[in-house]
A and B are shown apart, each in its own frame.
Chain A
Amino acid sequence: MRARDLVGSVPSVRPGVPLLEAVAALVAAGTSGVAVIDESGVPRAVLPGSALVGLAVPSYVKDDPSLAAVLADADPRVLRARIARLTVADVLSDDEADPLPLISAEASLLEVATAMAEARVGIVLAVDEHGHYVGGITATDLLATLQQ
């Protein structure tokens, strides 16, 4: 079994789309992150769901988490408004330091498992010999295969 046999469950978006589109894709797929693929089909990043949630948290609460409890009536509309004006590209620069979890589409199951164990978000992206995106694999995809 090769990496390309496992791909399919990870949603992907272009950098220019509104962030809410990425949120919708993520919610619909039920994965832990969304792949960001540029116009030429090359993966740019994996945007974790936790990072998207983090964007809705006011910066001052990130500095002082005690304040989260103070805002007992936090309105989902207010949290949504914080990310409504952003595009996927707006939030990519913060993640540039993280190496992309890329593997060859022809990688073996053990190679996929090794890359997955090191991936921060539990998602690895399979690419072809030209570096073009073939599809994403989640830890759940991999575990389901191992369970069979």
Chain B
Amino acid sequence: MKTALAIGAFALVYVLLVSERVERLVAAAVGAAVVLLFGVVGVHDAFFSEGTGVDWSVLVLLFSMMVIVGGLRRTGVLDVVALWSVRRSGGSAYGVLVLLSTVTAVSAIFLSDVTVIVLLAPVTLLVCDRLALAPVPFLIAQALAANIGGSASLVGDPAVIIVGSRAHLTFTDVLVHQLPVSFVVFVVFLALARFLLLPAIRRSGTDDGSHVAAADVGDLEPLAAIRDRRMLVGGVVVVALVIVGFLTQGLTGLAPSVVALLGAGLMWLVVREGRQELLDHVEWETLAFLAALFVVVGALVKVGAIDHLATEVGDLIGGNPTVAVLGTLTGSAVVSALVDNIPYVATMSPVVADLTASNPALNPGNALWYALAMGAVLGGNATAIGASTNIVVVGIARRHGHPIGFWTFTKYGVVVALSSLVVAVPMFWFRYLT
């Protein structure tokens, strides 16, 4: 009976998520309410168990990074970097696209893809306004670049954070294993953008009449974005310390969630006025959604459904690591293209944990974990709903009067996601399976 309830609650959550009839938090909360109400999981399982409960390290890491980015937002440093880069482009459309995408991707490695989009989309809109270019191709490029950058590091995307926590990976582990793939994927993306997005920019680059004096970007004053030099220094030092903390986990033994939490505390001290604003930038809905999702998936673990699924998958794979790793990489990409990658990764992480525990040969050099993380993030690029970043950029574009249709995004996203797989599959095969 409890097994049926756990599976039923999980199925209900997925149906609600896919139908998009209710907010994703409501979908996950309904599932969590069912498994808690009917005693499938108890208080201990839900809140104090590493295997079946809320993964607090994921929530603390996400929360802390949101606070840190909220502080960094005050410094204007990303505005300066992005605008300075754009000025180097001399105003050429492709140059602007490459430089904005690069700043976005590199920032996403350290600050997470969704927050970077929120910080940099206004700059993109400003630059497009100045150059009398329609911003849609640039915003799509920025979302794709953010996801690619986010796939490179432990803090780059919530999906990687979940995988990193479940697999006990360090920041350096993820960087060393995922950054090379992300880098090549990004270079291919930039080359593709010339053929995919540049023609769209040329077609849509017309003055709609609102540009009375469409100036170039040469007379922008990037440094003027800095309003408070003390805040700039403090904010940049905190971010630098957090990055050093991430990179030295092997020496200090401090988990990424602890480093980020300490960083958030420092940022709180650096910001003297309007601290409340730091909490305003925390996406509480995302944190609550994840917590509820962990409870729903934890119920599947508790009743043995995940164990059963892992056994079935293990039988299907037949002990072949090539099938396991490449199947996870491509399968994760396909599923993440169709549904939000966070619930997918939250569900698959315990399956992979079971698989690797019962058959370590399937996971050479933790390849199965990296395949899950990279497949989920890069696959999310395929459609307008595949990743949180895409959903956020579509929302920003609509709010600013430049709606991006599902298929407008998807026709570019699918090509980029497929090209990512074409790059990632041989790289995984060469690195882990030969």
| A residues neighboring B (CB under 8 Å) | 58-61, 63-64, 66-67, 69-73, 75, 77-78, 81-82, 85
Given known contacts A70-B222, A81-B212, is B123 in contact with A64 (CB within 8 Å)?
A: yes
A110 CB to closest chain B CB (Å) equals 36
Determine if A64 and B122 form an interchain contact, defined as CB atoms under 8 angstroms apart: yes
User: Which residue from chain A places its CB closest to the CB of B73 in the assembled complex?
Assistant: A64
Determine if A78 and B212 form an interchain contact, defined as CB atoms under 8 angstroms apart: yes
Choose the segment among B56-64, B176-184, B213-221, B413-421 that binds chain A (4+ C-beta atoms closer than 8 Å). B213-221
| B residues neighboring A (CB under 8 Å) | 76, 79, 83, 119, 121-123, 125-126, 129, 209-213, 215, 219-222, 224-227, 396, 399-401
B34 CB to closest chain A CB (Å) equals 35
Which residues on the A side are within 8 Å of B121 (C-beta)? 60, 63
State which of A61, A69, A77 has its C-beta within 8 Å of the C-beta of B227.
A69
A39 CB to closest chain B CB (Å) equals 29
State which of A67, A73, A78, A85 has its C-beta within 8 Å of the C-beta of B225.
A67
User: Which residue from chain A places its CB closest to the CB of B79 in the assembled complex?
Assistant: A66
Which residues on the A side are within 8 Å of B122 (C-beta)? 60-61, 63-64, 67
Q: In the complex, what distance in Å separates the CA atom of A75 from the CA atom of B219?
A: 13
Determine if A69 and B224 form an interchain contact, defined as CB atoms under 8 angstroms apart: yes
Q: In the complex, what distance in Å separates the CA atom of A95 from the CA atom of B137?
A: 32
State which of A61, A63, A69, A82 has its C-beta within 8 Å of the C-beta of B221.
A69
Closest 9 CB pairs of A and B: A69-B224, A60-B125, A64-B122, A60-B122, A66-B76, A66-B225, A63-B122, A59-B400, A81-B212
Which residues on the B side are within 8 Å of A69 (C-beta)? 221, 224-225, 227
A56 CB to closest chain B CB (Å) equals 11
State which of A58, A64, A75 has its C-beta within 8 Å of the C-beta of B79.
A64
Determine if B219 and A73 form an interchain contact, defined as CB atoms under 8 angstroms apart: yes
Given known contacts A59-B399, A64-B123, is B76 in contact with A77 (CB within 8 Å)?
A: no
Which residues on the B side are within 8 Å of A59 (C-beta)? 125, 399-401
State which of A58, A60, A71, A75 has its C-beta within 8 Å of the C-beta of B212.
A75
Q: Which among A60, A71, A73, A82 has the highest number of chain B CB atoms within 10 Å?
A: A60
Determine if B123 and A67 form an interchain contact, defined as CB atoms under 8 angstroms apart: yes
Determine if A78 and B213 form an interchain contact, defined as CB atoms under 8 angstroms apart: yes
**Told that A63-B122, A69-B225, A70-B83 touch, could you supply 20 new A-B pairs with CB distance under 8 A?**
A59-B401, A60-B121, A60-B400, A61-B126, A63-B121, A64-B119, A64-B123, A66-B76, A66-B79, A67-B126, A67-B225, A70-B79, A70-B220, A70-B221, A70-B222, A70-B225, A73-B215, A77-B212, A78-B211, A78-B212
Which residues on the B side are within 8 Å of A81 (C-beta)? 209-210, 212
Which residues on the B side are within 8 Å of A58 (C-beta)? 125-126, 129
Q: In the complex, what distance in Å separates the CA atom of A72 from the CA atom of B219?
A: 8
Which residues on the A side are within 8 Å of B211 (C-beta)? 78
A18 CB to closest chain B CB (Å) equals 15
Determine if A70 and B126 form an interchain contact, defined as CB atoms under 8 angstroms apart: yes
Given known contacts A64-B123, A75-B212, A75-B213, is B129 in contact with A70 (CB within 8 Å)?
A: no
A60 CB to closest chain B CB (Å) equals 4
Determine if B123 and A72 form an interchain contact, defined as CB atoms under 8 angstroms apart: no
User: Which residue from chain B places its CB closest to the CB of A59 in the assembled complex?
Assistant: B400
Which residues on the A side are within 8 Å of B224 (C-beta)? 69-70, 72
Q: In the complex, what distance in Å separates the CA atom of A66 from the CA atom of B123?
A: 10
Q: List 25 A-B contacts (CB under 8 A).
A: A58-B129, A59-B399, A59-B400, A59-B401, A60-B122, A61-B126, A63-B396, A64-B123, A66-B76, A66-B79, A66-B226, A67-B123, A69-B227, A70-B83, A70-B222, A70-B224, A71-B126, A72-B224, A78-B211, A78-B212, A78-B213, A81-B209, A81-B210, A82-B210, A85-B209
